[in-house]
């Protein structure tokens, strides 16, 4: 598995030491999941953490952003928890 680093102060993400651009919402989703490794995080909690109050929150907005995160960071980074939300593994 690749090493992924998130720096919440600089809002920089790296994969195997190489910088990867994550838009604001995607970075916030990853940061929220990374702060709870091994724990399931439901979609509504991810919406609250990732999106400003005034931003449109479509039914699948988090799902669409997770697809984009997987394209940027790797398919195995975020695990889907059916009918609940998402998680990242410990370690």
Residue 56: its pLDDT value, please?
64
**85-87 and 41-42 beta bridge pairing:** antiparallel
**41-42 and 79-81 beta bridge pairing:** unpaired
Express as a percent the part of the chain with pLDDT over 90.
74
**20 - beta bridge partners?**
13
- pTM to 2 decimals? 0.90
Q: Does pLDDT of 81 surpass 70?
A: yes
Question: pLDDT of 21-63, one tens digit each?
Answer: 999 999 999 999 999 999 999 998 999 888 877 666 677 889 9
Q: Does pLDDT of 1 surpass 70?
A: no
Coarse DSSP helix, strand, coil percentages of the chain, rounded to the nearest 5 percent: 35, 20, 45
């Amino acid at each position: 598995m690749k090493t992924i680093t998130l720096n919440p102060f600089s809002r920089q993400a790296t994969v195997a030491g190489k910088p990867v651009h994550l838009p604001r919402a995607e970075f916030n989703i990853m940061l929220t999941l990374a702060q709870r490794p091994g724990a399931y995080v439901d979609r509504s909690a991810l919406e609250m953490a990732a999106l400003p109050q005034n931003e449109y929150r479509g039914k699948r907005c988090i799902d669409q952003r997770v697809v984009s995160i997987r394209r940027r960071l790797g398919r195995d980074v975020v695990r889907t928890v059916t009918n609940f939300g998402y998680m990242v593994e410990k370690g």
